[in-house]
Amino acid sequence: MTDTAVNSAMPPDYLHDGHTLRSWLLSTDHKRIALLFVFSITVFFFIGAVAIGIIRLELLTPAGDLVSDDTYNKLFTIHGIVMVWFFLIPSIPATFGNFLLPLMIGAKDLAFPRINLLSWYLYIGGAAFTVATLIAGGVDTGWTFYTPYSTMFSNTAVLTAAMGVFVVGFSSVLTGVNFIATTHMLRAPGMTWFRLPLFVWSMYATSIVMVLATPVLAMTLLLIMAERWLDLPIFDASRGGDPLLFQHLFWFYSHPAVYIMILPGMGVVSEIIACFARRRLFGYSFMVYALVAIAVIGFFVWGHHMFVSGQSPYANMVFSFLSFMVAVPSAIKVFNWTATLYRGSITFEAPMLYAFGFLGLFTIGGLTGLFLATVPIDIHVTDTYFVVAHFHYIMVGGTVSAFFGGLHFWWPKITGKLYPESWARLAAILMFFGFNLTFFPQFVMGYLGMPRRYHAYPPEFQVYHVLSTSGAAVLGVAYILPLFYLIWSLRYGAAAGMNPWRAKGLEWQALSPPPRDNFLSPPVVGEPYDYHPQEGPDAEGDAA
């Protein structure tokens, strides 16, 4: 079926059935809800970004002269809270996941459309609390809410902040429930488990973590609120409580949560690489097992955040070992992506550039994770910029790159328009260099002893901070660019057609943008990623 077949008899695409605000805010269409999320997380990304922008400027000089120390503490706290819970965790699942999961398995919608809408309202509810926190003067506990500081000592809006995270937590639980049920119940005839695109698998694995980990965070925050507000003794050491218990509960969620943040990125990248290498994903089944393995083993390693906390040294051994084990499935994925390129027929459109960026940066971030899992090294670098660099390499270099990759890859499907390729490539490259300039120096200063969450620092570190800040400026520009040319493309972009990338996968069998019920005729399900006849080259590919 080609575009010319798209005549006026067609149902309107999802963007055009209903134009009232109501038809958006009360829509149960997974595609519209996905867009609602896109807007919301973009807003919060920039809130978090501005916060850190100011911090980076502050850190240009050793003396804390730009903002007061209290302000500084509030800035990195809000940066952490916003970026983790209001940007990165929903970033891919709630947007592309929402939009593509039904399309990719050939369904009309998610299993529980109304609950899906509820997820968004819960997100907004939590967001409201977070904004309220800002208005109330901010919160200064760090995104980790460590007790007793958060419960007995801080005199900032801890309650509101905790409440915000508490509420948004249920949003991701419900999203998880929805995705799992959908994947089990609504796969099109012929769409067997081992024909699912890896993106769907990654959503499935992510959902497992969301459902099993998030409630523990919710309860932990509840305890925090109870101790702070009702003054019930729970973690307060002076009344017999154990602050480490809080850390255990918090990390029981927050380590798995980091996999909530990376697995979706892995899914996106798998789709992109296969498409632009015109190649079957190498070791599909291993990729699947790896995803699930990461999701499960990810629950066993939380103690590696507590090596110097005063937890038993024997526990340190256990958690260190398990942390090494969780690295293995990630390794498998990296190798498979690389092997997929072999004998491919590769082109370098923007999504592929982002995918390459992901490969490199995630690997660096992951490998430095191994340093941190090594107890003696971690004792030295924990709570230094080495850690800060580690997780930005994965979360920003990895997931955010994947997010932008996905955004460009599915932009034609979501909006029906093509984005301007050359600008996109420019942004991708800027982002890559800006990123490394920002965060690589942080590894160095971290190992040299620069503690994190420091408002003022010894002058010998200044050079590194200046490099880092200049990188952040570049990065900032690179993030703002897409905003312009993507919006531009909405109006002036060329019509995309159903499948501009000649990609496989059911979502490309729907019109762009798809109608309310996604498919006009039931999609034909085939093997995943069959970009080429058995093991052979991609004929059309080479013709080009």
> Interface with Cu ion by CB under 5 A: which residues?
255
CA dist 233 and 223 (Å) reads 10
CA 58 to chain centroid: 27
Closer residue to other proteins, CB minimum distance, 90 or 303: 303
Q: Binder to ligand HEA among 119, 154, 323, 512 (CB under 6 A)? A: 323
Q: Name the phi and psi angles at 384, rounded to 5.
A: -115, 180
Closer residue to other proteins, CB minimum distance, 131 or 360: 360
334 scored as a contact of ligand HEA (CB under 6 A): yes
Please name the helix (run of DSSP H) or strand (run of DSSP E) that holds residue 477, with its range, or none. helix 462-492
Total residues in contact with other proteins, by rule CB under 8 A: 145
Q: Which of 166, 157, 177 is nearest to 114 (CA)?
A: 177
- Residue 544 binds which entry of Cu ion, other proteins, ligand HEA, none, CB below 5-8 Å type-dependent: other proteins
Determine the interface stretch with ligand HEA among 2-10, 45-53, 95-103, 511-519 (rule: CB under 6 A): 45-53
User: Six-digit token pair at 540?
Assistant: 């059309």
Q: Binder to ligand HEA among 330, 436, 489, 499 (CB under 6 A)? A: 330
77 scored as a contact of ligand HEA (CB under 6 A): yes
47 scored as a contact of ligand HEA (CB under 6 A): no
Determine the interface stretch with ligand HEA among 173-181, 468-476, 487-495, 526-534 (rule: CB under 6 A): 468-476
Within residues 307-326, the interface with other proteins by CB under 8 A covers 307-321, 324-325
Place of tokens 């730009």: 66
Q: Name the phi and psi angles at 527, rounded to 5.
A: -65, 150
- Give whole-number Cα distances, 333 to 195, 263, 372, in Å: 18, 11, 21
Q: How far is the CB of 337 from other proteins (least distance, A)?
A: 9
Q: Are 179 and 204 in contact (CB under 8 A)?
A: yes
213 scored as a contact of ligand HEA (CB under 6 A): no
Closer residue to ligand HEA, CB minimum distance, 169 or 505: 169
199 scored as a contact of ligand HEA (CB under 6 A): no
Phi/psi region, residue 416 (left: phi>0; alpha: psi -120 to 50; beta: rest), is left
Q: Binder to ligand HEA among 258, 272, 353, 506 (CB under 6 A)? A: 258
Phi/psi region, residue 535 (left: phi>0; alpha: psi -120 to 50; beta: rest), is left
* Sign, Cα dihedral of 293, 258, 310, 320: positive
Strand pairing partners for 417? 495
Q: Binder to ligand HEA among 96, 99, 129, 143 (CB under 6 A)? A: 143
**Half-sphere exposure in the Cβ direction for 190 (13 Å, CA):** 10
What is the length of the chain?
A: 544
- Say which residues have a Cβ less than 8 Å from residue 286's Cβ, sequence separation at least 6: 332, 336
Q: Are 72 and 474 in contact (CB under 8 A)?
A: no
Q: Name the phi and psi angles at 432, rounded to 5.
A: -60, -50
84 scored as a contact of ligand HEA (CB under 6 A): yes
User: Six-digit token pair at 400?
Assistant: 């955010």
Closer residue to ligand HEA, CB minimum distance, 108 or 452: 452
- Residue 473 binds which entry of Cu ion, other proteins, ligand HEA, none, CB below 5-8 Å type-dependent: ligand HEA
Q: How far is the CB of 351 from ligand HEA (least distance, A)?
A: 19
Give the nearest residue (CB) to ligand HEA. Answer: 366
Place of tokens 């969620």: 253
- Residue 372 binds which entry of Cu ion, ligand HEA, other proteins, none, CB below 5-8 Å type-dependent: ligand HEA
CA dist 217 and 176 (Å) reads 15
234 scored as a contact of ligand HEA (CB under 6 A): no
Q: Binder to other proteins among 15, 377, 474, 525 (CB under 8 A)? A: 377
Q: Are 107 and 518 in contact (CB under 8 A)?
A: yes
49 scored as a contact of ligand HEA (CB under 6 A): yes
Task: Annotate 174-239 with DSSP letters as a single string.
Answer: HHHHHHHHHHHH-PPTT--GGGS-HHHHHHHHHHHHHHHHHHHHHHHHHHHHIIIII---SS-GGG
Within residues 418-457, the interface with ligand HEA by CB under 6 A covers 438, 452-454
Determine the interface stretch with other proteins among 78-86, 91-99, 170-178, 261-269 (rule: CB under 8 A): 170-178
63 scored as a contact of ligand HEA (CB under 6 A): no
Q: List residues near ligand HEA by CB under 6 A.
A: 49-50, 52-53, 55-57, 76-77, 79-80, 83-84, 88, 142-144, 258, 261-262, 304-305, 323, 326-328, 330-331, 334, 363, 366-367, 369-370, 372-373, 378, 382, 387-388, 390-392, 394-396, 399-400, 438, 452-454, 468-469, 472-473, 475-476, 479
